[in-house]
Structure 1
Amino acid sequence: MTERGAALLERPERPERRPRRPAGQPPGPGGLSGGLLRTARPRQWVKNSLVLAAPAAAGELGSVPAIARLALVFALFTAAASAVYLVNDARDAEADRAHPVKRRRPIAAGEVPVPVAYATGALLAAVAVVGAATLCNAMTGALLTAYLSMQLAYCVWLKHVLVVDMAVVTTGFLMRAMTGGVALDIPLSRWFLITTGFGALFMVAAKRYSEAVQMAGGNGATRALLNEYTTGYLRFVWQLAAGVAVLAYCLWALEAGGVDEEALLPWRQLSMIAFTLAVLRYAVFADRGTAGEPEDVVLGDRPLAVIGLVWAAMYALAVAGL
């Protein structure tokens, strides 16, 4: 045997490689921990601020214990939502590698091993449920358990079922708003729940509609289920949801049954104008097919942000009775 042949026989076996990072993509910052953090979608955490909605509407944000409890609820809901993102990306890793954008996700790019993502997701889910049940109350723990069960079912199956997929995402927003009230034992108005639910459906349907419009333009579907929807149907859904949300908000604003005589102006009733303008402004992006992530639309459009601040100021004056 030649010296070259002997050298080839003595060469150690190569270790199994992780999935290659897509060509042209630099390594993600922070290594494994940074990859886990990016998979948890920090930009999406702003959605969890909905836990403040019910306490703010009830005027219960004036005490330090209430604020501390809501900060805890925000952190627990963030842990639960992050667990869902980790499991979802771990399940979809193979499909994401074939997608021009999603292949950059840390799990699909090989920066975070699939078993590590599953283990981290399970740990975060357990912390969220146990923490809510022990540090808040049993009902808060039950709500977070229901949220996790529903979202995991969505990852596995429900995101492939027509209409149900939008209902599940909408319910996730609604449960955020409910959890803040339940954690502080605040009774939830039926009109508050209807406004929140249909407002969320409006944004979810607008996002689906925008994706469908972009797909029709030849950009390709980002969700397989979009092939089953028509743009006309999705337009009908977001228009219907917008109308119901505005009507429910008006009924909620009038629910007090009158105007505080000591108040300078009927701020709660006047806030209906700002709320309606906000819906109309958001509908501009929905109609154009550019309503992507709700937080990007709200934070990226200055007029919409100003309308939102005006609405918040009006409602704050109403709650304060000024």
Structure 2
Amino acid sequence: MSGLASAAVAGTATRPAPGIGAAAQGRSPLALARGLVRTSRPRQWVKNVLVVAAPVAAGQFWSWHSAGRLAVVFGLFTAAAAAVYLVNDARDAAADRAHPVKRYRPVAAGVVPVPLAYGTGAALGLGAAGAAAVWCNGMTALALAAYLIMQLAYCVRLKHVLVVDLAVVAAGFLLRAMAGGIALNIPLSRWFLITTGFGALFMVAAKRYSEAVQLADAQGATRALLTQYTPGYLRFVWQSAAVVAVLGYCLWALESGGVAHGALLPWRQLSVVAFVLAVLRYAVFADRGTAGAPEDVVLRDRPLAVIGLVWAAMYGMAVADL
């Protein structure tokens, strides 16, 4: 009996974790490719559309040259973001296996080997920075390199530092928004930087607040840093950031004065109404603690989408002096 018990214990000790062993033994090139794509978070690629923000704000988006250059910048930031996700999942593979949701990520589940995730991430990151220097300009390459350095530092250390973690994630959005203007040599307005930066901080803090509210009774099941924040503090951050973003946008809109020459109405000033409504609508989800995924809120809420389209129409007419 003791021999059988010893054999059973030994068998249990050497048995691979459920799912991981099967995935490791059944890898195929197609499975690896799918796993790498899943790890690069295709749903997050929509965030890189921010690269058109500065050119659209300056009215310099409507040319084949500009559109082509911005398409390149979009692709480069998508590759850079994928590199960061691959490195992040490779670093967190062991911890993710203990998480009820993250254990299904391809690296944690063993579909994508950790060395392959590291290698692919490094290749994408270096390739994106090099391509930016060749296909765009030195400043675009510098912005992309700054994005990569900050996000990798976030993965390694900064995501464990109070407040700094919020600033780094918001800065990632801001760098995306700046990159399009830098690539086309467009001067960046101070109001554009203030509105974009604090708008990003508003969404980041709202996301953290939602996570803190939803997982208040499950400490340790998600970001360890959430246990050091209080919901009240995160609420204060997203509310303050929303106020500054709205104020920055209002100052930009009112800076131009009255109706532009040839325009029917003061579209820039009127767009403030749509912008404020969009912030207030998003704040509803933040206040409920359901703004955990900004892309889901923006893409799935129909009233918010309609408000966004109205704002875009007003802004477009302001740029075109209609």
Do both proteins adopt the same fold according to a TM-score greater than 0.5, normalized to the shorter chain? yes
- For 2:144 and 2:271, the matched residues in 1 are separated by 31
C-alpha distance 287-50 of structure 1, shift in aligned 2 (>3 A) = same
Aligned to 1:51: 51
2:199 is the counterpart of 1:199:
yes
- For 1:320 and 1:28, the matched residues in 2 are separated by 54
- For 1:22 and 1:272, the matched residues in 2 are separated by 52
Q: Give how far 1:262 is off.
A: 1.1
C-alpha distance 152-218 of structure 1, shift in aligned 2 (>3 A) = closer
Q: Give how far 1:300 is off.
A: 1.1
Identity of aligned residues (%): 73
C-alpha distance 49-41 of structure 1, shift in aligned 2 (>3 A) = same
Identify which range, 247-256 or 28-37, moves more after superposition: 28-37
Aligned to 1:21: 19
Could you tell me the TM-score, scaled by structure 1's length?
0.91
2:301 is the counterpart of 1:301:
yes
Q: Give how far 1:259 is off.
A: 2.4
Segments of 5+ residues of structure 1 without an aligned counterpart are 1-15
Segments of 5+ residues of structure 2 without an aligned counterpart are 1-13
- For 1:54 and 1:189, the matched residues in 2 are separated by 9
2:69 is the counterpart of 1:69:
yes
Write the mapping of 1:162-177 to structure 2, written as runs, cut at 5 A: 162-177=162-177
Write the mapping of 1:176-215 to structure 2, written as runs, cut at 5 A: 176-215=176-215
- For 2:22 and 2:300, the matched residues in 1 are separated by 28
Aligned to 2:314: 314
- For 2:21 and 2:269, the matched residues in 1 are separated by 56
Report if aligned partners of 1:58, 1:319 keep a CA contact under 8 Å in 2: yes
Q: Give how far 1:22 is off.
A: 6.5
Report if aligned partners of 2:99, 2:221 keep a CA contact under 8 Å in 1: no
Opposite residue 140 of structure 1, the aligned amino acid is: T
Question: RMSD in angstroms over aligned alpha carbons?
Answer: 2.0
Opposite residue 280 of structure 1, the aligned amino acid is: L
- For 1:114 and 1:271, the matched residues in 2 are separated by 48
- For 1:193 and 1:221, the matched residues in 2 are separated by 35
Aligned to 1:5: none
Q: Give how far 1:215 is off.
A: 1.5
Aligned to 1:11: none
Report if aligned partners of 1:213, 1:289 keep a CA contact under 8 Å in 2: yes
C-alpha distance 38-232 of structure 1, shift in aligned 2 (>3 A) = same
- For 1:196 and 1:217, the matched residues in 2 are separated by 33
Write the mapping of 1:273-284 to structure 2, written as runs, cut at 5 A: 273-284=273-284
Aligned to 1:6: none
Q: Give how far 1:280 is off.
A: 0.2
- For 1:24 and 1:192, the matched residues in 2 are separated by 51
Write the mapping of 1:1-322 to structure 2, written as runs, cut at 5 A: 20-21=18-19, 30-218=30-218, 221-322=221-322
- For 1:171 and 1:273, the matched residues in 2 are separated by 26
Q: Give how far 1:261 is off.
A: 3.0
- For 1:310 and 1:35, the matched residues in 2 are separated by 38
- For 2:87 and 2:120, the matched residues in 1 are separated by 9
C-alpha distance 244-23 of structure 1, shift in aligned 2 (>3 A) = farther
SS in 2 for 1:254: helix
SS in 1 for 2:247: helix
Identify which range, 152-161 or 258-267, moves more after superposition: 258-267
Report if aligned partners of 1:203, 1:294 keep a CA contact under 8 Å in 2: yes
C-alpha distance 95-43 of structure 1, shift in aligned 2 (>3 A) = same
Aligned to 2:7: none
C-alpha distance 23-120 of structure 1, shift in aligned 2 (>3 A) = closer
SS in 2 for 1:83: helix
